């Protein structure tokens, strides 16, 4: 019997007899690894451990203690969900059931909506089926056989047709079969710690012209304690929901009369927004950026040159004016390019860095809109660096410096970093030369190393026009949020013929770096609101201090204290209503005002105030001048 060669990620190889299983191959590496293994991937194809080896290749073992292992568990739980639905509700049509961040979902076509009671019933049946410890089997079938298997499943048939492949992968779990690439757990015994969370509507393939399906969301873990911790986090997240806090703190909202996906900033919210913008502009100007402003609309020809009309037209707002097509801008890049091109540029005049908080508009599907997190009009924290190849690393390093500084100022110092590069086996899919890609990728890697940032390398995840760094910040309750990105672009400089004159007198395409730190300002404020649970630090708080009178006799003194603090540059509110002081304090607490100054008869007589700080309580009396200095110091230090 012939032997097959399986190459491991560390460069070592092992020999395995044809016809032995992938589990046998893993056992050769170690019994401990086999106990922890779930599946293997060979040359990009997933295989169960029990499957026989038929060909050699590069093998990767998927284990329980990895992100890939958790994704495998969740994918398998999605199939378990579908099996239970098939068992309980015959005749249901099945669409997709992938793992997603923090869980999984499966889309179903059923005439009657799933109820909360039915979710409980499905979950109970899932547990009963999982206890059978059914083996999850994979087999390859021809396209014709797949069409027979799924002859009564229109969404599967459409998927088969769209794939256009002659050999397809099918996984069986008990009585349920699915068209699926995998991977999956060896059997159902690991599917124990799971919970179904909700039901929502979802269009087939995300297309609003196609049928509306029912999407059941769930989550699963290897251990019950991890599931319990996640469910506790979800409960905490509900309390921190920025939509709820936006209403309660009178910050922002979506006005239905104006249309979905358009945010309105109330006076308190606009103050918060203003602090972030002022800080952002100050940091950028200090670091050599020039801030610019571009129009909200431009002729369609600009977007034809950029390629957006060809690839993203359905996501854009387009209208006619003066017998010409215009576009409401979906991004700021072309405007910055036009500004750069207005002058002849030489290498000695680079780099040029333009930064803009530019409001852009995208025709997002109504079903995807979510508070400030997903809107149709948003302010993009945008910057573009135009530079030479030898300036790349310094420019990327500056971007990383700014990510750390700006995110640190807002209380974020824990990140997950991903480096997305091109697929080395399909280089023809990407714009730019090998030399450009190697220089860009090297600058990203070197800059990350210089800053001591750990990262995961994501091959094939780069967009066609350049490699990138993505930064996911981690908030107070452990959630990851995609915010900052540093993205090379070898496409737009060629489309717009953006060049500079090099030291040898020749014109060369400029190297262009897209860079966002906060991302969407709206979304970042949503994240920030949930991170702090609306309890913003003093320097950001819309109302930093509130002065409250105990009785009518101190009204005039309270107003004078408020005026003095306001002259110092602080954001001050006053409450001189004829209400009891306890009521006033409670109201200020509800609005999460950081510092509260109470003035009674004794304080008015002595030119003092009684200080209360949130989470600290009553701190005694202070002179007004001292209070002003203390607050300003705290604001300057962002404490």
> What CATH topology corresponds to 68-223?
3.30.980
The pLDDT score that the predictor gives to residue 359 is 95
- Pair of tokens at residue 270: 């606009």
Catalytic residue list contains 497: no
Supply angle C-alpha 366, 357, 206, rounded to 5.
Answer: 20
Q: Choose, from 380, 391, 487, 544, the residue flagged as catalytic.
A: 380
Res 242 pLDDT > 90: yes
Of 123-127, 209-213, 428-432, which one has max mean pLDDT? 123-127
Q: Which H/E stretch holds residue 42?
A: strand 37-42
Catalytic residue list contains 215: no
The pLDDT score that the predictor gives to residue 1 is 58
56-71 b/e (C-beta count within 10 Å ≥ 16 → b)? beebbbbbbeeebbbb
- DSSP summary character for residue 374: B
Query: What residues form DSSP beta bridges with 357?
Result: 381
The pLDDT score that the predictor gives to residue 212 is 92
Q: Choose, from 46, 156, 273, 384, the residue flagged as catalytic.
A: 384
Q: Choose, from 190, 382, 475, 575, the residue flagged as catalytic.
A: 382
The pLDDT score that the predictor gives to residue 131 is 96
- Pair of tokens at residue 588: 């200020």
What's the chain's average pLDDT?
93
pLDDT tens across 522-572, in order?
Answer: 999 999 999 999 999 999 999 999 999 999 999 999 999 999 999 999 999
Catalytic residue list contains 385: no
Give the residue from 381, 351, 345, 307 showing the smallest Cα distance to 511: 351
- Pair of tokens at residue 134: 């059914």
Give the residue from 473, 474, 471 showing the smallest Cα distance to 485: 471
Are the C-beta atoms of 222 and 70 separated by less than 8 Å?
Answer: yes
pLDDT tens across 342-352, in order?
Answer: 999 999 999 99
pLDDT bracket for residue 465 (50, 70, 90): confident
Q: What is the pTM of this model?
A: 0.84
Catalytic residue list contains 79: no
pLDDT tens across 102-128, in order?
Answer: 899 999 999 999 999 999 999 999 999
- Pair of tokens at residue 50: 């029990």
If you average pLDDT over residues 46-62, what whole number do you get?
Answer: 93
Residue 609: which residues within 8 A CB-CB, separation 6 or more? 547, 561, 597, 598, 599, 603, 621, 622, 624, 627
Q: What is the Cα–Cα distance from 462 to 486, expressed in whole angstroms?
A: 11
Q: What is the Cα–Cα distance from 636 to 398, expressed in whole angstroms?
A: 24
pLDDT above 90 covers a percentage of the chain that reads: 82
Q: Is 562 helix (H, G, I), strand (E, B) or coil?
A: helix
Q: Choose, from 333, 353, 544, 571, the residue flagged as catalytic.
A: 333
Q: Choose, from 230, 308, 514, 546, the residue flagged as catalytic.
A: 514
Catalytic residue list contains 544: no
If you average pLDDT over residues 320-341, what whole number do you get?
Answer: 95
pLDDT bracket for residue 430 (50, 70, 90): confident
Give the residue from 576, 577, 580, 616 showing the smallest Cα distance to 595: 616
Q: Do domains 3-63 and 545-636 have the same CATH topology?
A: no
What CATH class has 3-63? alpha beta
pLDDT bracket for residue 417 (50, 70, 90): very high
The pLDDT score that the predictor gives to residue 382 is 92
Residue with the two structure tokens 């969301």? 217
Q: Which residue has the higher pLDDT, 490 or 62?
A: 62
Q: Choose, from 138, 184, 362, 374, the residue flagged as catalytic.
A: 362
- Pair of tokens at residue 452: 């001591």
Q: What is the Cα–Cα distance from 174 to 79, expressed in whole angstroms?
A: 10
Q: Choose, from 468, 523, 531, 584, the residue flagged as catalytic.
A: 468
Question: Domain limits of the chain?
Answer: 3-63, 68-223, 252-294+329-531, 545-636
CATH architecture of 252-294+329-531: 2-Layer Sandwich (3.30)
Catalytic residue list contains 107: no
If you average pLDDT over residues 492-505, what whole number do you get?
Answer: 94
If you average pLDDT over residues 68-73, what whole number do you get?
Answer: 96
Q: Show contacts of 634-637: CB within 8 Å, 24+ apart.
A: 634/538, 634/539, 635/538, 635/539, 635/544, 635/570, 636/539
> What CATH topology corresponds to 545-636?
Rossmann fold (3.40.50)
If you average pLDDT over residues 215-240, what whole number do you get?
Answer: 95
DSSP string, 596-633: EEEE-HHHHHHTEEEEEETTTEEEEEEEHHHHHHHHHH
The pLDDT score that the predictor gives to residue 351 is 97
- Pair of tokens at residue 602: 């004794």
Catalytic residue list contains 348: no
pLDDT tens across 20-51, in order?
Answer: 999 999 999 999 999 999 999 999 899 999 99
Q: Where are the alpha helices (DSSP H) in 241-266?
A: 242-248
């Amino acid at each position: 019997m012939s032997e097959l060669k399986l190459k491991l990620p560390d460069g070592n190889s092992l020999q395995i007899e044809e016809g032995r299983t992938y589990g046998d191959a893993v056992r050769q590496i170690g019994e401990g690894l086999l106990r922890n293994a779930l599946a293997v991937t060979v040359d990009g194809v997933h295989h169960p451990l029990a499957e026989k080896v038929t060909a050699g290749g590069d093998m990767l073992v998927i284990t329980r203690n990895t992100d890939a292992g958790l994704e495998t568990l969740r994918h398998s739980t999605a199939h378990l969900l579908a099996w239970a639905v098939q068992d309980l509700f015959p005749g249901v049509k099945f669409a997709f059931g992938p793992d997603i961040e923090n869980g999984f979902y499966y889309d179903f076509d059923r005439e009657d909506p799933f109820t909360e009671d039915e979710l409980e019933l499905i979950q109970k049946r899932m547990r009963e089926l999982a206890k059978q410890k059914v083996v999850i089997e994979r087999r390859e079938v021809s396209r014709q056989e797949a069409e027979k298997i799924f002859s009564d499943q229109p969404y599967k048939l459409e998927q088969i047709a769209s794939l256009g492949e002659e050999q397809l992968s099918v996984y069986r779990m008990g009585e349920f079969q699915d068209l699926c690439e995998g991977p999956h757990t060896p059997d159902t015994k690991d599917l124990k710690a799971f919970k179904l969370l909700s039901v929502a509507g979802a269009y087939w393939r995300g297309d609003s012209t196609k049928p509306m399906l029912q999407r059941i969301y769930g989550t699963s873990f290897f251990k019950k304690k991890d599931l319990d911790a996640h469910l506790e986090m979800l409960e905490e997240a509900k309390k921190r929901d920025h939509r709820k806090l936006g209403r309660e703190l009178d910050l922002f909202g979506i006005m239905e009369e104006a249309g979905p996906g358009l945010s309105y900033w109330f006076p308190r919210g606009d103050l918060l927004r203003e602090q972030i913008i002022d800080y952002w502009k100050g940091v950028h100007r200090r670091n050599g950026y020039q801030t610019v402003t571009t129009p909200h609309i431009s002729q369609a020809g600009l977007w034809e040159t950029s390629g957006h009309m060809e690839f993203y037209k359905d996501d854009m707002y387009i209208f006619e004016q003066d017998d010409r097509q215009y576009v409401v801008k979906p991004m700021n890049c072309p405007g910055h390019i036009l500004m750069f091109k207005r002058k002849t540029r030489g290498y000695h005049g680079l780099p040029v860095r333009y930064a803009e908080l530019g409001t852009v508009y995208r025709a997002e599907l109504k079903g995807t809109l979510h508070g400030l997190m997903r809107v149709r009009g948003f302010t993009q924290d945008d910057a573009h660096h135009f530079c030479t190849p030898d300036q790349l690393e310094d420019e990327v390093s500056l971007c990383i410096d700014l990510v750390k500084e700006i995110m640190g100022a807002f209380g974020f110092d824990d990140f997950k970093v991903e480096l997305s590069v091109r697929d080395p086996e399909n280089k023809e899919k990407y714009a730019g030369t090998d030399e450009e890609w190697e220089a860009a990728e090297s600058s990203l890697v070197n800059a990350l190393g210089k800053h001591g940032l750990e990262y995961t390398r994501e091959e094939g995840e780069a967009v066609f026009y350049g490699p990138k760094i993505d930064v996911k910040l981690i908030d107070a309750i452990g959630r990851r949020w995609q915010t900052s990105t540093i993205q090379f672009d070898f496409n737009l400089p060629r489309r717009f013929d953006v060049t500079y004159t090099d030291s040898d007198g020749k014109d060369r395409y400029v190297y262009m770096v897209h860079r966002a730190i906060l991302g969407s300002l709206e979304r970042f404020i949503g994240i920030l609101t949930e991170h702090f649970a609306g309890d913003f630090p003093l320097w950001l708080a819309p109302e930093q201090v509130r002065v409250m009178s105990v009785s009518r006799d101190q009204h005039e003194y309270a107003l004078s204290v408020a005026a003095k603090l306001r002259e110092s540059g602080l954001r001050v509110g006053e409450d001189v209503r004829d209400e009891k002081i306890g009521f006033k304090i409670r109201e200020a607490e509800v609005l999460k005002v950081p510092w509260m100054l109470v003035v009674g008869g004794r304080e008015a007589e002595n030119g003092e105030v009684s200080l209360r700080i949130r989470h600290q309580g009553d701190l005694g009396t202070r002179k007004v001048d001292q209070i002003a200095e203390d607050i300003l110091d705290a604001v300057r230090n962002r404490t």
